[in-house]
Amino acid sequence: MIKKKKTRKTNKYPVCSKCKQILGSEGSVEVICGPMFSGKSSLLISRAREAFYAKQKVVAFTQKKDDRRGDDSINTFNKDQFIAVSVSNSKQILKNIPEGTSLVIIDEGNFFDMDLADVVNKIAEKGIRVIVAGLDRNFRGEGFGPMPRIKLEADKVTQLLARCAVCGNEASRTQRLKIVKGKKIPAKYSDPIVLVGEEEYEPRCRFHHEVPGKPKIKIKQKK
């Protein structure tokens, strides 16, 4: 009886000896950030559709607490939509990624918990492309939630700008306006980051961004 030699199964594509991923896989992290009304969600949906038309499996996620424009979908101010899974926390994202997924998109990353940065990196390490969109600054002009860290560790950052509602110049900040007795007044620095009540938002440039009570920058000079 002639014994057949056992042959090792070889991968169809070359694999990196260090990370064991298929060479040429799209494991990466991209951040799309900017103020409100800068087109973040529109660009995110565009990226998703590009992948979808290329016959790649795409799965989208959004935060349940952000229900301003409906549940279970990413929505834009122009009424554009992309079906998404609503989750309560970032770890639920890992449990809802189907096998064979090529692209994971996450909208309103600023509303997620701080673990989102670790979750995003873990997904990318599996050879999956990840795109996170969100505000990189809160109404105070400071880092918003997990976005600063994700932005720092991303492979690609697409920084968008809007147009200042006051002067029309490029706007990198979001102005919160509280409605008090029918009048619009700038939100104070001491106001909570997530506000429930009557408020409006608009893009502002550095010079027209108003935050009453914000600590002034002090630079100590050496004697």
Can you tell me the distance from the alpha carbon of 129 to that of 161, in angstroms, rounded to the nearest whole number?
24
46 Cβ neighbours under 8 A, 6+ residues apart: none
Is residue 133 within 8 A of residue 107, CB to CB? The reply is: yes
Dihedral over alpha carbons 52, 116, 93, 156 (to 10 degrees): 20
What are the E-state strand segments in the chain? 28-33, 57-63, 73-75, 81-83, 85-87, 101-106, 129-134, 156-159, 162-163, 170-171, 173-180, 183-186, 199-204
Active site amino acids: 108
Residues 6+ apart with CB under 8 A from 170: 161, 162, 163, 164, 205
CA distance 65 to 193: 14
